[in-house]
Chains A and B, each alone.
Chain A
């Protein structure tokens, strides 16, 4: 089927993706409304690729697996890089939180369409199309409903946000346990013999790990506040954001960090999961 004509001609870049199965069902009902857009990354403030599914009215983040020395054979072609992209649902509240905290500098109640405004990433208005926003915002804001117009007015609440994040952490801890994720950084000899690694993981390790996971979706300052609130041990070194969060000048996705220290809470994904934010798909066309 694949013609080999022009064998020396470089071909279009092929992106290898894993999408939720239910996209296919949604695709039966829609002709459009699936789109990749660049939005602000609520942790780093960088532009990052997200995927809107307007039919499911859901937002997905795109993570990419990238490791040195890989390539794909796809049918009768070769694709360099060996990248593997994942689209997974993301809580849009993380992105809304970015704008709510920014607006909070003005210290007043504001309608949502005046909060979610971004010259750099104008596609942020799509966030306002997601359903159940009012319900969501109750987790992180105080609201006023002055009945002058039909609008609700919102103001960021740090107390509520921290409590909401704590619930998130508990939710993640539960998932880590059911998935039998090894969250302990200590390699214990007993694990090699007993094969029962789960028992060596202490509750605090789970909470640290979960905190690290959540910290990928919130700014550093909030992550530190949450750390204090959860009474987690202070990280031994107060590193700035790890390299994976730094400015990316190329249009290539960055690589996840490699080194792992018990106390650097942000390094949760080095051992288990090796994915990073995606920026590559938006590269300029040749």
Chain B
């Protein structure tokens, strides 16, 4: 209990190291239909993974003697899955140093103010240790159906988009990659009049998307 002081928690910021998002190695995730009470290393690759079979109705495996049925679930388009851990909790050696040294000095981000103003010595740090683009969803005896709550939750980002704006003034280079990744999805979610600000030379900024 380092920060039992409630006020410190309210003031605290947890900084996510952007570099870790770039370099996070892929991970294999399974969402189990049971509660394992302790979080700890586990020989998943020795006992669980080799036992998975492709059955007539999805994937089959057993865990603690119970029959599980599952299927691959893909992370919704436009999103990426990350596993994050707080620095100093289990990352000794893995480090949060920005490993890739191909950033030269001119490529510093243009923050509103220098980062040292955003990072204070009582802040905490978190980093992505792994990334994923899908996971295996397991149900007891049967594959979780279309009404499964986790499937509903995966539709949340597309609804959230409707409540809040999409556009933000973007730094130039990001703009092109954004266009390719977001625009197809945007057109599914929002009527055309909300999709603007992407046009070359146009500078509508955020204003257009706010109505």
A contact set with B: CB distance below 8 Å: 2, 4, 6-38, 47, 51, 54-58, 61, 63, 65, 67-82, 84, 86, 88-91, 93, 120-123, 129, 131-132, 135-136, 139, 167-168, 171-172, 174-176, 178-179, 181, 213-214, 217, 271-275, 281-282, 284-286
Contact = CB atoms under 8 A, between A and B. Distances in A.
Q: Which 3 A-B pairs have the closest CB atoms?
A: A12-B90, A175-B162, A12-B89
A98 to B, nearest CB: 15
The prevalent SS among residues of A at the interface is mixed
B10 A55 contact: no
Contacts of A61: 160
Nearest to A210: B162
Given A27-B22, A71-B32, 14 more contacts: A7-B41, A10-B40, A13-B39, A17-B81, A31-B108, A35-B123, A36-B14, A37-B14, A70-B34, A75-B44, A89-B160, A121-B10, A178-B189, A285-B89
Interface string B24-38: 000111111111111
B178 A25 contact: yes
A69 B40 contact: no
Given A31-B109, A89-B166, A174-B191, A73 B42 contact: yes
B42 A34 contact: no
Nearest to B165: A91
B82 A67 contact: no
B10 A74 contact: no
Nearest to B33: A69
Interface in B1-34: 1-4, 9-19, 21-22, 27-34
B98 A4 contact: no
Given A6-B41, A11-B41, A12-B90, A21 B78 contact: yes
Interface residues of B, number: 105
Given A38-B9, A90-B164, A174 B35 contact: no
Interface string B143-156: 00000011011011
B103 interface: yes
A80 B36 contact: yes
Contact of B19 (A25, A31, A172): A31
B103 A16 contact: no
A89 B129 CA distance: 23
Contacts of B37: 80
B169 interface: yes
B149 A171 contact: no
Interface string B174-186: 1001100110000
Given A21-B181, A74-B29, A179 B39 contact: no
B157 interface: yes
Contact of A35 (B11, B118, B153, B178): B118
B207 interface: yes
B84 interface: yes
A13 B86 contact: yes
